[in-house]
Amino acid sequence: MYSNTCFVKVLIVFTLVIIENECKRPNFILFLTDDQDLLLDSMIPMQSTIKNIANDGITFTEAYAHSPICCPSRSSLLTGKYLHNIHVYNNSINGNCSSNEWQNTHETRTIASYLKSSGYVNFYAGKYLNQYGNKNANGLSHIPPGYDWWYGLEGNSKYHNFTLSINGTKVDFHQEYLTDLIGTYALDFLSHKPLDKEFFMILAPPAAHAPFTPANRHSDKFPTVKTKKMHNFNASATKKHWITQLPPKYLPEDITILDDIQRKRWQTLLSVDELVENVVNKLKNLNILDETYLIFTSDNGFHIGQFGLPWDKRQPYQTDIHIPFLMKGPKLPKKELFNHPVSLVDLAPTILTLANATVPEDMDGISFAHLFNSQDNKNKENERNLVFIEYFGEGNAHSVEKACNFSEEDAENLSECSLENWCKCQDSRNNTYTCTLTFNIATKTKYCLFRDKRNFMEFYNLVQDPYELNNKAPFLTSKEHKIHQHLLSEYKKCTGKSCHDLVLKSYDKI
């Protein structure tokens, strides 16, 4: 038998173990894909991801990118701030994508820097921001603040023949497949990370971004897959904004290239699915899976043929902004669907909340960590009722092929026009808009205001018209227009708490 003294010692040790376990903070791994749609079924190839995250956690059915373009969306995700507060407008240096201004101001206040200050060890591998590594912005020697292990891709997504900054040193790769290399570095980090510190990882593969290059082992998969032809596939755009009405009005009869793109996108995602599986197995082997949050999402969506638009993002429609969002982790329910609206701008404050770190007051996003409490999950008072979408259109004559026969003046205002996509331009300067997605008990609506000469407006009841076929803006009353435009006006000047107040307010009457 234990003596009284021994019993007291054992009790103290046992109590300390309990306290240590209660105080231990979770780890985080964010899988961030590129241009992965939700509505065109790109989760079908992700069976291991569904098994390991969705079936063991939560699927958010109403998750949205704040902007349907890579650099602005990723910048918003990293900072927890809206575009008007970080001034990232497009994928160019002049648009503040990984520019000197960005690096000297907002990049010093990202999720990584805040977690680093809170004691986390941070890791990044893959695509960062489209202009990362630009010689006019410190090149590849630049390591964003907060990261201890850094494997940042130079420029935009590639699958082979890419360059990485490995902790500030430029390294060229030729035969390697980027998604697989990200997995190698991730597993190496998990094997060698400090044992006494929690960690935060972002794994950012190039899939499913162009040029849609699968790993050789996957190049024969999905041989019969074709593009998904929903009701809005090749549908009339006569009641939509200017760029959608540019010729050609409809897609040609031969759309083999669209089927090829759909198939190749799925093929590229198989490597991502393997990445998720390998990381999960490593966490199991290390016995830390149960103390790690796994988050899977994309920076924006994608369209293929909707409204006669060949393939791209950049538009305000659901294909381009509605994204996959899965999450599993400590104390989260299993295999549940959450219909609470969330935006990528909410991810940084949510992670900081779950990490028991301080959420800066000037973050525009709102934490949805409280939703994981079963009691708060039923409480609508702290639920986001409004999601803002914003995009700044570009004109880039260099991306307009001369064979498309646009005048020099028109070419200056257009972008991404090529023979390959039948000279159907994907962007223009007047493709600049701000939208509200409003959620209430009765319905879900979208109101978009374009900053063009006409102040063109689009409005959809997404419950009655999920494919956005019928623009109802001309039928709104002047009062209804004023309400929506007031919200957009308030959004453009909000910051921190004023943004929170705006999205948490009930909008049952609009």
Instruction: Enumerate residues 6+ apart whose C-beta is below 8 A from 107.
Output: 78, 98, 144, 145
The answer to whether 297 touches 32, Cβ cutoff 8 Å, is yes
The answer to whether 138 touches 100, Cβ cutoff 8 Å, is yes
Instruction: Enumerate residues 6+ apart whose C-beta is below 8 A from 104.
Output: none
Distances (CA, A) of 277 to 273, 439, 506: 6, 35, 40
Helices (H), 162-205: 178-192
d(CA 376, CA 340): 12
Please return the burial class of 182, using the count of CB atoms within 10 Å of its CB with bins 0-12, 13-18 and 19+: buried
How crowded is the C-beta side of 2, counted as CA atoms within 13 Å?
8
User: Locate tokens 């039923």: which residue?
Assistant: 378
Let me know if 70 is a catalytic residue.
yes
How crowded is the C-beta side of 494, counted as CA atoms within 13 Å?
20
d(CA 25, CA 169): 32
Q: Rounded to 5 degrees, what angle do the CA atoms 380, 381, 387 make?
A: 80
Q: Which SS3 state, helix, strand or coil, does residue 483 take? A: helix
Q: Rounded to 5 degrees, what angle do the CA atoms 235, 238, 244 make?
A: 75
The answer to whether 109 touches 373, Cβ cutoff 8 Å, is no
Of the candidates 23, 70, 423, 494, the residue annotated as catalytic is 70
DSSP classification of residue 437: E
The answer to whether 66 touches 344, Cβ cutoff 8 Å, is yes
Distances (CA, A) of 50 to 44, 300, 350, 421: 9, 19, 22, 33
**C-alpha dihedral, 10 to 12 to 16 to 18, nearest 10°:** 70
DSSP classification of residue 51: I
Please return the burial class of 298, using the count of CB atoms within 10 Å of its CB with bins 0-12, 13-18 and 19+: buried
With helix as H, strand as E and coil as C, how does 222-263 read?
CCCCCCCCCCCECCCCCCCCHHHHCCCCCCCCCCHHHHHHHH
How crowded is the C-beta side of 366, counted as CA atoms within 13 Å?
23
Residues belonging to the active site: 70
